[in-house]
Structure 1
């Protein structure tokens, strides 16, 4: 996006993030949903969206025939018959679906979302929306060119207590905020040990799984959930959880682009582990008069404020701590009153899919709590942290040029597509 367009989009994001939960009159026509990537979060997304009235699942697509058949059978037991596709493009060709959920590995999101909106489908795309800064920009352009309704799976934006917490921050009660911390400590996930390459499991169309990623021998460590620890397909915890927590850090501070970014970390838990992304990382984003700090660790659960994930706005008068469980305010001495834990009162994922459905029915992108611009912005922001780590440099972001001032860092902005795939070109 150009700078003026980005500023306009940022203001729209802030408005959409805090608009009331009111949707008005809606169409009652049936929405037929197809799921691309049925193994993990995609299945949770599908179950949530099917709780909406007059929403049905008509198709599933996955390159792992084993999981595809398993999910189709589970739906069959509920009286839901679906068409099964190995190639998602076959699903998009006909009139089987009106909307698709994209929950494949990150390196596939850009191609699949662009293909879907070109086919006239509405889209619920998992976060992070792309695996590079360039892909994020392309996805925004594609959505803006077509009339599709596209929601990004950052479902905290549909939870009431997150909105309440940010409204409290915006009210100024905390006083001057000089530091914002965001973090994810994942104690339930252990670093992965090296495993030998092997033949793909029977029923897995591995070339289709790789898609635009570099050609490599099949390895179990890179497949299904574990893909997120390898640069070919994802960005580790920095982009997996960073897009959730850092999103609210930015919303709370009403900011967009940092002045500089620096990062330090590595594979400290298991130096010889199979993963490529760091299991331990700290990133500092510099703004004019405050910093946003990100940190993550795999194999440790006690993060800041004895929470395994969250955002903390550290003000002169007190600190507001926010995560999926709720929010509270810890006063700085007697400078303000404490606010006891305000617990979550709703199901964020279900509210988020409800919001998506209502936006579809009204054909109104302004209703979306997480429009494509929001997903692109925070995915880019998180990618900046990874790029700072991979270059080992303090980086400066040139807003006007939409790139870093460092040539080595700019190499990471645009991905390299392989195996005959090409980065989508959005013209006009």
Structure 2
């Protein structure tokens, strides 16, 4: 969308919305003028990238014009699925060629974590708005670079932490802010993933036909192809991701930090390992406990693969534990459990209030609205928020890797430990460079 189209949208979108029938997505028009259309593309379309794209395509005026994936089998499958919906798209195996397409207004980035930084920063430099999957970066240095790119190029960047668009999460945090829980001294966030099982070791082999493996590796260390490292399971290898700490942690720690209005901790310590499946193919810990010390409270992260029985009988959640009561929040709803003094509740209980909406759809809608309005403050999950939680998650992994209680120096934006500072940036390979 060029500047003249953006200017037209700012003045015309309100008139179009007023004249059209309201859609199921809270007021976006069903009939959209050609000048009000948003051309989107998606890079990495096997999993969440495809889900994100389809959420965007529910919005009147949004149309997909291009797809990119290093796996031609996935690329052809998705292009055929869109063709069945009367959407003919250009296809690319190299995202850089897609970014040269002047017809593209915004891109979805759903690639493995180790690619997010390069693709998001280059998309911003190419004048595209971006919807990028979480966690935004695979290191603290990448998170910093991504924030800098958004601020330098003034592009709309929404991070795929879609819970920030879901009403019951907002209501729960409003309750925390009300002060009714009393002093909150401990916040627990956890992910107990019983459905995740051991990953059997497999021998190295040849990449599947149609897969550009060198492009898939990108800045990661060159290794022989192994099916365990490809597609979904890349999450369990340090070269590409950070395990459950960054995969689920950024969703749940995000709300722990948001509820406490917290940024950087004073100290971090972590303990865990491959306790459930010590001999399987994964690298990242299947069991981990991390404690973040802030001024006046702690945040505790826990995860366990192969177990469903998490705290408060929930396999995932966030608990704000106050002197008067505890608010327990998960993707299904929230409730408040009072503390008691001599069998007398210290506050009124709040029965479970269930989810009432679709967070992903609302998150996509919010992104499109801000792309059109350019009111950056209206974005529900801006890159700065995504960076805050991703950096905290990376801190947890760094504490685990060093085996130490590490301290953060906010003034210098570094740890007070040399070994921890060696892990601030992911090492880049194959000629790729960390964006300045």
Q: TM-score range by the shorter chain?
A: over 0.9
After superposition, the C-alpha distances for 1:25-53 in whole angstroms (9 at most, x for unaligned) are 99971001100000001111011110111
- How do 1:31-46 residues align onto structure 2 when only pairs under 5 Å count? 31-46=38-53
Rounded Cα–Cα distance in structure 2 between residues aligned with 1:46 and 1:94: 18
Q: Aligned runs of 1:231-250 on 2, under 5 Å?
A: 231-250=238-257
How far 1:96 sits from its partner (Å)?
3.1
Q: Of 295, 298, 305, which aligns to 1:291? A: 298
Q: Check if 1:196 corresponds to 2:200.
A: no
3-state SS of the aligned residue for 1:183?
A: strand
Q: Is the 8 A contact 1:60 1:82 kept in 2?
A: yes
Cα distance in structure 1, aligned partners of 2:269 and 2:44:
34
The SS at the match of 1:213 is coil
Match of 1:8 in 2: none
Aligned to 1:386: 397
Give the alignment of 1:309-388 within 5 angstroms. 309-333=316-340, 334-388=345-399
| SS of equivalent residue, structure 1 residue 322 | strand
Q: CA deviation at 1:24?
A: 11
In structure 1, C-alpha distance between the alignment counterparts of 2:28 and 2:202, rounded to whole Å: 54
| SS of equivalent to 1:296 | strand
CA contact (8 A) 1:59 1:96 kept: no
Give TM-score, length-normalised by structure 2. Answer: 0.91
CA distance in 2, matches of 1:360, 1:90: 23
The whole-number CA distance in structure 1 between the counterparts of 2:103 and 2:276 is: 47
Per the alignment, in what secondary structure is the counterpart of residue 397 of structure 1? Answer: strand
Shift of 1:324: 0.7
**Higher relative contact order structure (alpha carbons within 8 Å, sequence separation ≥ 6):** 1
Aligned residue runs from structure 1 range 52-67, under 5 A = 52-67=59-74
1:153 corresponds in structure 2 to 160
- Structure 1 unaligned spans of 5+: 1-20
User: Runs of 4+ in structure 1 displaced over 6 angstroms?
Assistant: 21-28
**What's the TM-score once normalised by structure 1's chain length?**
0.93
Structure 2 unmatched ranges of 5 or more: 1-24
1:99 maps to which residue? 106
> Deviation digits for residues 226-284 of structure 1, max 9, x if unmatched?
00100000000001111111111111111111110000000011101111100000000
Matched, 1:76 2:87: no
1:399 aligns with 2:399: no
Asked which structure has the greater CA Rg, the reply is 2
Distance 2:213 2:101 in 1: 25
Task: Tell me how large the CA RMSD over aligned residues is.
Answer: 1.5
Q: Does 1:418 align with 2:429?
A: yes
Pair 367,22 (structure 1): closer, same or farther in 2 beyond 3 Å: farther
Q: Cα offset for 1:23?
A: 9.8
Change (3 A) 1:23 1:256: farther
